[in-house]
Structure 1
Amino acid sequence: MKHYTSILLLFLLALTACNEDFLETKPDTKLVVPSTLEDLQALIDYYNIHNASLPGMGELSSDDYYILYDRWNALSSAYQKNAYVWAKEIWEGNNSLDWNNRYQQVFYANYVLEGLEEINRAEDPEWWDQLEGSGLFHRAHAFYQLAQLFCPPYDSDSDNDGYGLPLRTTSDLNVHFDRATVEETYQRILADLEQAVRVLPESDSYKTRPVKAAAYALLSRTYLVMQDYDNALAFADSTIAFNYELIDFNALNTSASYPMERYNSEVIFHSQMTRYTPLNSSRLIIDSTLYDSYLNDDIRKEAWFRTVSGNYTFKGSYDGSTQIFNGLAIDECYLTKAECLARNGSLPEALNTLNQLLVTRFREGTFSPVTLTDQQQLLQEILLERRKELLFRGIRWADLRRLNLDPSTAKTLYRYLDGTIYSLEPNSPNYTLPIADDVLQLSNLPQNTRQ
């Protein structure tokens, strides 16, 4: 009977996974009703829903790379061409994979949470709690990813009453949700993660499943984009306390096609980004100023970059393949901790944290510790190292959005294509993507402002 149920369950998963326009066609949940913890675990473990095809439009729009005009002009997807130059109109009638895929994830998370309500927790309290924590984590993770694209940046100096997300908390797609505010969106993310922390296990043999440290790491990341540096620091510390091991880059085979091992010791939660065409290693060219910022004894310079047609491209994904890793890893937490310590004036601790990370990236015996004592200079150094370390992790776009709120760290972005210069000013409304037309028509949601 369990085997038969599993077949039906996989049939339901296949039906919903194959439909890119998820919000337009409602899955027929009557095909199968998951009725056991095993069934719900299968929903939580569905890799293509929770761990693959995470949003990539922010990375496509960021400043760590560029593509040549002929490559850009040859792109078959109008929305990718438009996003690359931060155009006012993006989709031109196309669906938004980043939106649809994440709301599909929200549906699955809600479905699991509702399924648990029908199962007596006393049957297996530990497994029941793990599934509840996983559902809450995945819903929060989806909302976080969406917020970095489709909501204005969170501003700690404002009331954040602009348009946020439709915060779907039920799997019933007939229930309409208006757009919440930005503040309500982030409070939903935090509430889900805080509950997840209480019930997730401390460890799991699969890094595609969330654990307590993953919820802490995502809380730290969320508080960082909210400019709540005290909480970002506290949760980064909580994550580091789990003793995920930093990789000694001296042990890497830097000549390998992809030197970083999948599920390596730094990975807390594994996920992959949608690799849009401009992000293919055969097309993207690393910004030369960024590449030159790596010192010669910095092993990342050999491990993460290779030459293609005379230009440097990227091979350093923690997925160990052409796919781009954008999960949660402990190196990010060291950099968040260092930044927050520098911002609150704890400079010796900030230096120690930064140097703990960097010494593992340099050839043995060559590393000279950072010794800056000026707060602003140290902060700028940490932010540079953050950019260098977290390259192509799906983080740069969120960092640009938050750093632009401070004039001292704001930056104008430029694209140069066939004699035309495109620019993206700090705090431009074009840092918030428009919602695709089909979603607006189906859901009657207000559109984001663009210029």
Structure 2
Amino acid sequence: MRNIYAILIVLLFSSCQDFVDETPKGNLIPKTVDDMGMILDAFDVYEPNAIAYGHGNQTLMTDDSKLPDDIASSARPSVVNSYKWAEHLFDVSVSDQNWDGFYHVIYLCNYILEKIDDAPEGAGEYSRAFVKGSALLNRAHSFFILVNLYAEHYDENTASTALGVPLPLESDINTKYGRATVADVYAQVLIDLKEAVKLLPNKSEYTFQATKPAAFGLLSRFYLYRGEYKKSWQYADSVLKIMPELKDYNKIEQYEPGQPDFGLDNWAPYSGWEKPDVILYKDMGDLSSKYYMSDELLVLFDPTTDLRYRNFVTNYKYYSFTEDPNGYRYSDEADVNRGISLGEVYLTEAEAKLRDNDIDGALKALNDLRVKRYLVGTADVSETNSDALLQIILDERRRETLFKGLRWFDLKRLNKDAKTAKTITHTLFGKSYTLEPGSNRYVLPIPRKVIELNSLIEQNPR
């Protein structure tokens, strides 16, 4: 892999100083196309200029997770607050990783987009089109995640007035921004993605680099969230025309049966960006690395035929054969990419085609995925009742995208329909907490630290 840290990029930049109060420092102002390309290759989230920041802190809020009492007793307050859907997740003096991380990415992308057209080439390692398209895609992804975390789900009847998130499109750290509307944020995401599609290549060397399928995949998700189902499945189909092959989980074997932590044969170890089926890699930004599975989630898996369960789920403690009293968890060996993955695209196509009254197309997309996720010989789904098939697809999506950061967004959008709305209950230290469909708690609070820095930003009602 090329040494992307050979030049320490400065960043006299910050993630917009009005949003966060830390200014990354380094040794060199990026000036050439190659310098800017290196910013976009900084995938390591432990580096100060990481472009591959991935969202977190809502994993524990969903119906997929449980937080055992003994884990909670030693966890950071923000972990417990997330699980309880507390009024505030972070103390006034503590930074919100989601807000800071994505606005940092946005700042880097804005800097690049301001400079790229006039920048000298450098050594020619990166093309100008690739760098510009990558910046557009990463900015679009960041705004899209932010608006879905800190604003209500998109509704065409309210989007033009509902408060979204600040929408900085320049790198001036002295400019303060209020909150744009949800409609305005979505509009900018669409502008960026459509331009990125024109500039990006079909393939890249690494999955943390931007590609045309990554832009198509995010467009497919974008239109699914907006309820424009024909466009959603058309963009999903655009992805599958370029990279249709899913990893066959029948070919994975555990080195130590029942304990995936010790490694898997025919599976990429350690580095998430090397996992199969990753289209655009974004790292985890969670408050907790222990993915204990809720009882409700566990019953959705067939432990005999579902290879995601057989390959990645264990009830042993980490790297041991001692039974874990807290129950079942997802191994660190599993793919929990927070970006765009191929399995999501298949199931977006299935759901969007069903909602667009194409039952045959929905079944094909669903079964094309299932043949690579279930034991050889498992029967295809043949259900033709629309409501029943929708639930099958949604359950499959829940299994396929487990802990990849989508469940919270799916709950928000599915709560708009009484048929798929649900109430969630979490129990911690003997006390129950309930989240009703449409609750204000589905919209994360703006970090108090941010509001102290910028009085133009209005807090969400809780």
TM-score over 0.5 for the alignment? yes
Q: Once the 2 structures are TM-superposed, how far is the Cα of residue 449 of structure 1 from its aligned partner?
A: 2.9
Tell whether the 8 Å contact from 2:200 to 2:210 is kept in structure 1 after alignment.
yes
Aligned to 2:89: 90
Deviations 1:294-340 (A, max 9, x none): 22112111112011314110026555xxxx42121111111000001
Deviations 1:130-184 (A, max 9, x none): 1100010111111111112111111134344111111111111112222110000
Aligned to 2:150: 150
Q: Once the 2 structures are TM-superposed, how far is the Cα of residue 117 of structure 1 from its aligned partner?
A: 2.9
Aligned to 1:67: 67
Where do 1:373-412 residues align within 5 Å?
A: 373-412=384-423
Where do 1:48-447 residues align within 5 Å?
A: 48=45, 49-75=49-75, 77-93=76-92, 94-119=94-119, 127-254=127-254, 255=257, 256-257=260-261, 258-259=263-264, 260-261=267-268, 262=272, 263-277=274-288, 280-281=289-290, 284-295=291-302, 296-308=304-316, 309-310=324-325, 311-315=327-331, 319=335, 324-365=336-377, 367-447=378-458
Q: Once the 2 structures are TM-superposed, how far is the Cα of residue 375 of structure 1 from its aligned partner?
A: 0.6
CA pair 317-327 structure 1, distance change in 2 beyond 3 A: farther
Unaligned ranges ≥5, structure 1: none
Unaligned ranges ≥5, structure 2: 317-323
Tell whether the 8 Å contact from 2:84 to 2:426 is kept in structure 1 after alignment.
yes
Tell whether the 8 Å contact from 1:217 to 1:236 is kept in structure 2 after alignment.
yes
Whole-angstrom CA distance in 2 between matches of 1:136 and 1:53: 15
Deviations 1:247-294 (A, max 9, x none): 1111002344254524244111112111322xx23xx42112322222
Whole-angstrom CA distance in 1 between matches of 2:21 and 2:412: 31
CA pair 85-21 structure 1, distance change in 2 beyond 3 A: farther
> Equivalent residue of 1:273, what SS?
coil
CA pair 368-60 structure 1, distance change in 2 beyond 3 A: same
Aligned-residue identity in percent? 31
Amino acid at match of 1:215: A
Q: Once the 2 structures are TM-superposed, how far is the Cα of residue 17 of structure 1 from its aligned partner?
A: 8.8
Whole-angstrom CA distance in 2 between matches of 1:285 and 1:334: 26
Tell whether the 8 Å contact from 2:354 to 2:362 is kept in structure 1 after alignment.
yes
> Equivalent residue of 1:423, what SS?
strand
Whole-angstrom CA distance in 1 between matches of 2:125 and 2:70: 58
- State the TM-score, normalizing by the size of structure 1: 0.89
Deviations 1:168-209 (A, max 9, x none): 111111122221100001111111011000101111111110
Whole-angstrom CA distance in 1 between matches of 2:301 and 2:175: 51
Whole-angstrom CA distance in 1 between matches of 2:332 and 2:393: 20
Give the aligned CA root-mean-square deviation in angstroms.
Answer: 2.7
Q: Once the 2 structures are TM-superposed, how far is the Cα of residue 70 of structure 1 from its aligned partner?
A: 3.1
The structure in which a higher percent of residues are helix is 1
Amino acid at match of 1:219: L
Whole-angstrom CA distance in 1 between matches of 2:111 and 2:460: 33
Tell whether the 8 Å contact from 1:355 to 1:370 is kept in structure 2 after alignment.
yes
Match of 2:39 among 40, 43, 46: 43
Tell whether the 8 Å contact from 1:227 to 1:402 is kept in structure 2 after alignment.
no
Tell whether the 8 Å contact from 1:335 to 1:354 is kept in structure 2 after alignment.
yes
Tell whether the 8 Å contact from 1:331 to 1:357 is kept in structure 2 after alignment.
yes
Whole-angstrom CA distance in 1 between matches of 2:238 and 2:9: 40
CA pair 6-268 structure 1, distance change in 2 beyond 3 A: closer
- State the TM-score, normalizing by the size of structure 2: 0.87
Tell whether the 8 Å contact from 1:433 to 1:448 is kept in structure 2 after alignment.
no
Number of aligned residue pairs = 435
